[in-house]
């Protein structure tokens, strides 16, 4: 589990597609590289991967076919920059939101504009699970939705985010990884299961009893 607060930007040294999936090698100067062991989880552009090899600041991971199909990792090239975050420690502050590293879909950059010291970026994708002022993970970065429409949503990036992640390099037409807020996914599942059954427990009385 992760928070969506990027710790470091890494660089792809090798990316190889094969009939079974893919393998990626990347370098990263974490402040404490000794804390990363083989078998640990690491979030790369929002995708939870398992470290399979490690040599100094060079790390390797295997990528399953399903992950390639759902994410933008299949487009990786040597020297690409990627967002990296180590797994959350239980005692850490949750400054972002709960990010699992399980990509739901990809989105395409629709527009980019400057707004004072920030930059507004809109993305085209399914927005059924995106709400205004809610959280979304883009390439593993926890962000707040500043605007949402039927098929697009917008976020505003502060200078620190532009500097410390690869989102500052985005161009119109680029493809990014999207992970919806897990809370919204559970709510959608619960409500879908109750629709049409006549047995829904989500009533006005239920909401009032639970503080809504």
Helix (H) or strand (E) holding 53: strand 47-55
Secondary structure (DSSP) of 86-114? EPPPTTS---S--B-S---EEEEEEEEEE
Q: What digits encode the pLDDT tens for the residues 54-91? A: 998 899 999 999 999 999 999 999 999 999 999 998 88
What per-residue confidence (pLDDT) applies to 47? 98
Residue 185 in domain: yes
pLDDT for the residue numbered 212: 67
Q: Give me the pLDDT at residue 179, please.
A: 98
Residue tagged 């009533």 (tokens): 203
d(CA 110, CA 100): 25
Question: Could you tell me if 79 and 112 lie in one domain?
Answer: no
pLDDT at 129: 96
Give tens-digit pLDDT for 147-160. 999 999 999 999 99
The model scores a pTM over 0.85: yes
The whole domain housing 130 covers: 105-189
Residues 6+ apart with CB under 8 A from 144: 133, 134, 135, 155, 156
13 and 52 both lie in a single domain = yes
Residue 107 phi, psi (nearest 5): -135, 155
Q: Are residues 126 and 70 in the same domain?
A: no
pLDDT of residue 12: 98
Of 23, 33, 39, whose CA–CA distance to 56 is shortest?
33
Residue 204 counted as domain residue: no
Residues 113 and 183 in one domain: yes
Mark whether 80 and 149 lie in a shared domain: no
Do 80 and 22 have their domain in common?
yes
pLDDT computed for residue 190 by the predictor: 82
Strand, coil or helix: 184? helix
Q: Please give the biggest Cα pair distance in the chain.
A: 59
- For the chain, residues with pLDDT lower than 70 are 31-33, 194-203, 211-212
Examine residue 211 and state whether it is found in any structural domain, yes or no: no
Residues 150 and 184 occupy one common structural domain: yes
What pLDDT is stored for residue 197 in this prediction?
55
pLDDT at 195: 58
pLDDT score for 189: 86
DSSP string, 12-51: EEEEEEETTEEEEEEE---S-GGG--TT-EEEETTEEEEE
What pLDDT is recorded for position 205?
Answer: 76
Looking at residue 31, its pLDDT comes to 65
d(CA 190, CA 202): 9
Which CATH number do you get for residue 169? Answer: 2.40.30.20
């Amino acid at each position: 589990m992760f928070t969506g607060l990027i710790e470091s930007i890494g660089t792809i040294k090798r990316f190889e597609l094969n009939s079974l999936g893919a393998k990626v090698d990347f370098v990263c100067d974490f402040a404490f590289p000794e804390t990363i062991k083989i078998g640990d989880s690491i979030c790369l552009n929002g995708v939870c991967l398992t470290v399979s090899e490690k040599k100094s600041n060079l790390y390797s991971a295997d990528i399953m076919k399903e992950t390639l199909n759902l994410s933008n990792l299949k487009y990786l090239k040597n020297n690409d920059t990627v967002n990296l975050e180590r797994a959350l420690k239980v005692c850490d502050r949750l400054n972002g939101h709960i990010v699992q590293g399980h990509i739901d879909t990809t989105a395409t950059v629709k527009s980019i504009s400057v707004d004072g010291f920030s930059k507004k970026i809109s993305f085209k994708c399914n927005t059924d699970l995106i709400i205004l002022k809610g959280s979304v993970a883009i390439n593993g970065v926890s962000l707040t939705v500043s605007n949402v429409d039927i098929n697009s949503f917008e976020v505003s990036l502060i200078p620190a985010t532009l500097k410390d992640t690869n989102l500052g390099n985005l161009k119109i037409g680029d493809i990014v990884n999207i992970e919806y807020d897990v809370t919204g996914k559970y709510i959608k599942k619960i409500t879908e299961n109750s629709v049409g059954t006549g047995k829904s427990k989500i009533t006005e009385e239920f909401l009032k009893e639970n503080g809504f």
